[in-house]
């Protein structure tokens, strides 16, 4: 007796269609389930879950040896996606249910309940164009509703079997406590909370307007973390495409709740995190923090404390917006288009260059502290600013600065200008311009050109650094409402460059 049913798993972030083939040898005296096709431990353990689910659902297991093949057989299958499909395929081989051409995904509990699985959103989006019907767990109903796919959601194995046998489907009614209320909470942080610091505020406004990466250097307690946590409040809301992209990632890693991700992600990994945790990888390849920050913000506090291999691995995503994880069994490409906000002290004690507190570090300790941040990494960060200590009077002042809403309005206007300018290009923001695009779209006035030439010669700027300065200057000009990059816009962009630790003394 043979039956075939479609299911799906995730390989990295990519959905893979899996054909579940079941053959029952009734002549065998051995009564068992044998699963082949490169199953991992979780898939192999589905055998025990299915046996208990059948027993507690009142379903009689067939006599004989049951062989389950998961095709394609040369790709490892991981997770609990296949439980329900295997169970239904066994029943199909018994002629207990009719043929079903759709896709079945779901984990089985020992009592026959169908439990939530990760990755339903990307799986449905990947295969719904084939006009397939899906059977999914009821707990995945909310994320499935965000797609145009045709699906049936069930709470138990018996519900799924009854629906397939009768050809009817009644959507299960919500039980008390299952209702989901859309979140309407406002942000509990705002830029108006920060007093003083006019220059860092301006720098972060420019970063938000043009999509630029930022590093903040300053003594402890000057507000670097406050700035980073409030940065998402001045970014534009995600559009529908970005919401779906981000939600697919969070669904694939099991972090999606009942709602789509509508707020830009803000990821703040600890400096002790491994390269796998931040970049992605592992024995079962999974995305890291930089992918979870896609379309949002990655905040790296205490930047020099991160391992050097972690920081060096940021080169590709900072330039390309993707990260490639290579393993013996294949390469995986994960999206990683984020804005980097980094913060650090100027030295181990934190007070190098401070005008009020003496530094206790030796020159060797200071250079060793900065050594972890290589030139190529610093070169890829567009805006580099000093966040100084503010005076007691500024701290205790009763007046507050601009709100996040006011700053966001200017950011939105500047982004709209860029959207119109790059309408025929794939890029949307100044930070993503290539060198050829800079030559095509950015025009410096003669005075600005002369200033850039002088500065680049004096500080020995690389070609990448020069392009970064021009892109920041273009964003400043967009905020100022000027068509060309004039002297004022370029001068403002140049003040956001810290070529090396030697320049800290100049603060």
Q: In angstroms, what CA-CA distances link 456 with 373, 381, 470, 507?
A: 21, 17, 11, 20
Average pLDDT, integer, range 466-487:
95
Identify the CATH number of the domain in which residue 321 sits: 3.40.50.300
> What pLDDT sits at residue 114?
96
Average pLDDT of span 345-350: 92
Same domain as 114, residue 18: yes
Last residue of a domain, one of 166, 181, 209: 166
CA angle 333, 336, 342 (to 5 degrees): 140
CATH assignment of the domain containing 64:
3.30.230.10
Same structural domain for residues 298 and 389? Answer: yes
H-only helix segments in 34-170: 41-44, 46-56, 83-93, 120-127, 141-144, 157-166
Domain count, the chain: 2
The verdict on residue 240 lying in a domain is: yes
Q: Would residue 178 count as lying in a domain?
A: no
156 and 244 share a domain? no
Q: Do 203 and 127 have their domain in common?
A: no
As a residue count, the chain comes to 507
Residue 185 located in a structural domain: no
What's the CA gap between 274 and 313, in Å, rounded?
12
Same domain, 123 and 213: no
% of the chain beyond a pLDDT of 70 = 95
pLDDT at 214 over 70: yes
- Tell me what pLDDT residue 390 has: 82
Residues 130 and 252 in one domain: no
Tell me if 449 is assigned to some domain.
Answer: yes
**Quick check: helix, strand or coil at residue 393?**
helix
pLDDT band for 175, please (50, 70, 90 cuts).
Answer: low
Lowest average pLDDT, out of 139-148, 321-330, 406-415, goes to 321-330
One domain, residues 465 and 390:
yes
Residue 5 has pLDDT above 50, yes or no: yes
Using an 8 Å Cβ cutoff, are 108 and 115 in contact? yes
Residue 286 lies in a domain: yes
Full residue range of the structural domain in which residue 142 is found: 2-166
277 and 155 within one domain: no
Domain assignment present for residue 458? The answer is yes
323/439 same-domain check? yes
Whether residue 329 sits in one domain with residue 263: yes
Tokens of 207: 């970063």
Cβ burial 174-196 (10 Å sphere, 16+ → b, else e): eeeeeeeeeeeeeeeebbbebbb
Give the per-residue pLDDT at 132.
87
Q: Identify whether residues 398 and 485 lie together within a single domain.
A: yes
State how far the Cα of 89 lies from the Cα of 351, in Å rounded to an integer: 67
- Full-prediction pTM beyond 0.85? yes
Q: Is residue 173 assigned to a domain?
A: no
Q: Tell me which of 118, 149, 166 is where a domain ends.
A: 166
Mean pLDDT over each residue of the chain, to the nearest integer: 90
Co-location of 500 and 367 in the same domain: yes
User: Which of 302, 309, 208 is closest to 264 using CA atoms?
Assistant: 208
**Residue 113, φ and ψ in degrees, nearest 5:** -70, 150
- Residue 183 within a domain: no
CA end-to-end span of the chain, whole Å? 80
């Amino acid at each position: 007796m043979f039956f075939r049913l479609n299911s799906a798993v995730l390989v990295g972030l990519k959905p893979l269609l899996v054909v579940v083939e079941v053959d029952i040898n009734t002549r065998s005296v051995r009564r068992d389930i044998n699963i082949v096709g490169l199953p991992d431990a979780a898939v192999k353990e589905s055998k025990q879950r299915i046996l208990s689910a059948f027993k507690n659902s009142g379903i009689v297991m067939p006599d004989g040896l049951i062989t389950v093949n998961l095709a394609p057989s040369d790709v490892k299958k991981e997770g609990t996606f296949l439980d329900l499909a295997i169970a239904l395929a066994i029943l199909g081989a018994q002629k207990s249910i009719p043929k079903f051409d759709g896709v079945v995904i779901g984990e089985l509990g020992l009592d026959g309940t169908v439990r939530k699985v990760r990755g339903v959103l990307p799986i449905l989006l990947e295969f719904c164009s084939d006009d397939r019907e899906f059977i999914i767990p009821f707990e995945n109903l909310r994320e499935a509703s965000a797609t145009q796919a045709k699906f049936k959601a069930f709470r138990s194995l018996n519900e799924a079997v009854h629906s397939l046998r009768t050809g009817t489907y009644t959507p299960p009614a919500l039980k008390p406590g299952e209702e989901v209320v859309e979140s309407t909470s406002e942000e509990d942080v705002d830029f108006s909370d920060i007093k003083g610091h006019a220059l860092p505020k301006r720098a972060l406004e420019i970063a938000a307007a043009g999509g630029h990466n930022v590093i903040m250097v300053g003594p402890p307690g000057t507000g670097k973390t406050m700035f980073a946590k409030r940065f998402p409040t001045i970014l534009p809301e995600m559009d529908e495409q970005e919401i779906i992209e981000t939600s697919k990632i969070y669904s694939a890693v099991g972090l999606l709740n009942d709602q789509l991700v509508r707020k830009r992600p803000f990821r703040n990994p600890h400096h002790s995190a491994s390269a796998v945790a931040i970049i992605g990888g592992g024995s079962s390849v999974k995305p890291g923090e930089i992918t979870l920050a896609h379309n949002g913000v990655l905040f790296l506090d205490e930047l020099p404390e991160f391992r050097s291999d972690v920081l060096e691995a940021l080169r590709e995503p900072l330039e390309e917006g993707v990260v490639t994880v290579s393993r013996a069994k294949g390469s995986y490409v994960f999206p990683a288009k984020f804005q980097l906000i980094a913060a650090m002290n100027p030295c181990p004690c934190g007070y190098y260059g401070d005008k009020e507190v003496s530094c206790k570090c030796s020159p060797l300790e200071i250079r060793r502290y900065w050594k972890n941040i290589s030139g190529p990494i610093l070169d890829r960060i567009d805006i580099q600013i000093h966040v100084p200590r503010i005076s007691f009077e500024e701290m205790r002042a009763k007046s507050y600065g601009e709100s996040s809403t006011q700053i966001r309005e200017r950011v939105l206007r500047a982004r709209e200008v860029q959207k119109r300018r790059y309408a025929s290009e794939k890029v949307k923001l100044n930070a993503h311009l290539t060198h050829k695009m800079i030559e095509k779209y950015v025009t410096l006035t003669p005075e600005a050109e002369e200033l850039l030439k002088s500065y680049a010669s004096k500080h020995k700027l690389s070609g990448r650094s020069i392009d970064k300065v021009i892109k920041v200057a273009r964003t400043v000009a967009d905020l100022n409402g000027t068509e060309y990059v004039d002297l004022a816009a370029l001068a403002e962009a140049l003040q956001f460059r810290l070529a090396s630790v030697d320049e800290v003394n100049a603060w």
